[in-house]
Structure 1
Amino acid sequence: MIDRSDRILSHQEGTFQGVGGINLYYQSWHPEGKVRAILAISHGLGAHSDRYGNVIEQLIPKQYAVYALDLRGHGRSPGQRGYINTWSEFREDLGAFLQLIQTQNRGCPVFILGHSLGAVIVLDYILRYPQQASVLQGAIALAPTLGKVGVSPIRVLLGKMLSRIWPRFTLNTGIDISAGSRDQQVLAAFAQDTLRHTRATARLATEFFATVDWINAHAGDWQLPLLILHGGADRVALPAGSDIFYQRVNCTDKLRIEYPEAYHEIQSDINYREVMADLEDWLERHLAPETAQLGRGSGELEFPSF
């Protein structure tokens, strides 16, 4: 048990079964007392579920629980680093993760958040399975990689060429660690993170780009409340990509905020408090009035529901 912000924070770990019987790692953080809502997190390429401490510290005192998984080939989950057979493995794994959360917390509102590659997984899942996704309260995409990416075109071309004949061929992404955050302490932590990796396989490359094309082609079908938060100085996932997607979304309950100087790890950049405040504000506005009422007191405000 960890005491933070005068609230008791309980931490749990476990595994759930993904596609093909693989046991995927997840962890969750819970406040003391009644949980008002749950935020599920899907991390980015090379990252893992430990990377969202600022989100947890922001939301636990507001009576949110947070769940985060390690994608296959990432963190504490098994599998070749940065490899998938098909994109559907990511999609179905996320579906199993959400089912686990809903089973453990019946009747509790659930939001889904994806960062970078994880945002692509989230957007693809929701667009592919609108009926299953309709039980979610909304989706948040942090720095989604929906357009140009900060990977050398030569590396991208090589991955596409080798996907059919050598799908497990692995390359370093070549992304500069300094593109993650303007906070030097954060960068130092990244460099020492033994669970972090910088690898991607040829098959992942082709599956990723095909999925991004599909998502952009079907943006007009989007139905859930949507929040996109993106750094204007993001060199890993250029912000123009998320802006184009946002403009194509016909759903009226959408919001995109771009932070002019922010980098890719937007939840860990020097302006993270502003980002966290915007995230919390949006979540509060998308809770049902009776659920939002539970968060009142201790100076907390009740926000209207859209």
Structure 2
Amino acid sequence: MTHIEGTFTGAGGLNLYYQSWQPEGELRAVIAMVHGFGAHSGLFNDAVQHLLPLGYAVYAFDLRGHGRSPGQRGHINSWAELREDLHTFLTRIQERGPSCACFLWGHSLGAAIAVDYALRFPQSLQGLILTAPALGKVNLPVLKVALGRMLSQVWPNFSLKVGLDQGTSLRGQNYILTQDPLRHEYGTARLAAEFFATEKWVENHASELQVPLLIMYSSGDRITPPEGSVAFFQKVSFPDKESYEYPGDYHDFHQDINYQKVLVDLEHWLEKHLDGEIDNPASKCLIKIPSLHTETFTM
């Protein structure tokens, strides 16, 4: 395994932190990950360790205002910044392996970012993976949501703790992961307003999705309840779609007690889209993506 860390230039010239994990031997496909609110790119370790031996390269970056990336914690000026950051990131990856299948995986808030992107740039992806997507109802304190919407135009960078119960993310000994110092709990008024506007747009355009979809959710998720995932899945008319429910698991179920079951289901879906069971002729990685020789993407 080769682990690479570096930065790339996102919207507005902000240098965003990224990391990648390259498998030994032949590369089969690329998986780009987008983390959730308050999280960072280092929280997919179980998935990375599962996917690397299968021949997948994994890329992830810290959203602006998150993890090791700069910016006010949990703040954006517009949703377009998040979309441009992701577009630049995927473009740089794909420039290094233009014949390689690229799957986009978004978790929670990252799922909203990912599906918004997939609706606008479907030709760049061979598949879309959404886990615990922040679609439909999200369990945020009503007063804080109302405050965020009200202040978005007059005080956009007004910040406060969002109020998510970290005890609803992971169970048992895995709960210690929520104490990670790179995590945070702050969001700004503008982020809240932009998120709800984007989520509504995504819901209204779900039937236009033209990318193979895998959506995974948990019945025990008290942050992004499963009803939102079910409703979104039903609106998608593209025939290549699958959904999996994990009874009783918590919000971050890719790290939760039953994470191995989740990752095996993900593996099987990926295999179908690479080995010809699904008619997707572009999903072949014909060349090996070279390792980045510097720690910074060349723009």
Q: Could you tell me the TM-score, scaled by structure 2's length?
A: 0.91
The corresponding residue for 1:140 is 129
What's the offset of the Cα at 1:288?
4.6
Alignment match of 1:283 (pick from 266, 270, 273): 270
> In the alignment, what sits opposite 2:230?
243
User: What residue is the counterpart of 1:20 in the other structure?
Assistant: 12
* Equivalent position SS for 2:39: coil
Q: Does the CA-based 8 Å contact 2:118-2:125 persist in structure 1?
A: no
Cα deviation, residue 291, structure 1: 4.8
Q: What TM-score comes out, normalization by structure 1 length? A: 0.89
One-letter identity of the residue aligned with 1:147: G
On the 8 A contact 2:99/2:284 being kept in 1, the answer is: no
- The answer on whether the counterparts of 1:231 and 1:264 sit within 8 Å (CA) in structure 2 is yes
The structure 1 segments of at least 4 consecutive aligned residues displaced by more than 3 Å after TM superposition are 288-292
CA distance in 1, matches of 2:178, 2:3: 22
Determine the C-alpha separation between the residues in 2 that align with 1:189 and 1:84.
26
CA contact (8 A) 2:218 2:249 kept: yes
CA distance in 2, matches of 1:92, 1:243: 28
In structure 2, the residue matched to 1:105 is 97
Cα distance in 2, alignment partners of residues 199 and 104 from structure 1:
35
Shift in Å, 1:34: 1.4
CA RMSD of aligned residues (A): 1.6
Q: Deviations over 1:217-247 (max 9, x none)?
A: 0011011000000011100001101110100
Measure, in 2, the Cα distance between the counterparts of 1:257 and 1:113.
15
Equivalent in the alignment of 1:159: 148
Unmatched runs of 5 consecutive residues or more in structure 1: 1-8, 293-306
Counterparts of 1:133-282 in structure 2, within 5 Å, are 133-182=122-171, 184-191=172-179, 193-282=180-269
One-letter identity of the residue aligned with 2:17? Y
59-68 vs 97-106, greater mean Cα deviation: 97-106
Q: State the structure with bigger RCO (CA 8 A, min sep 6), 1 or 2.
A: 2
Tell me the CA shift for residue 147 of structure 1: 1.3
| Percent of aligned pairs sharing the same letter | 52
Separation of aligned partners in 2, 1:213 and 1:14? 34
After TM superposition, give the deviation of residue 104 of structure 1 in Å: 2.1
Residue 41 of structure 2 is aligned to residue 49 of structure 1: yes
Partner Cα separation in structure 1 for residue 284 and residue 229 of structure 2: 30
Counterpart code for 1:185: Q
Asked whether the 8 Å contact 2:174–2:257 carries over to 1, the reply is no
**What secondary structure does 2:112 align onto?**
helix
The answer to whether the 8 A contact 1:137-1:287 is kept is no
Equivalents in 2 of 1:171, 1:149: separation in Å? 17
Q: Distance in 2 between matches of 1:256 and 1:119?
A: 14
Q: 1:302 is matched with which residue?
A: none
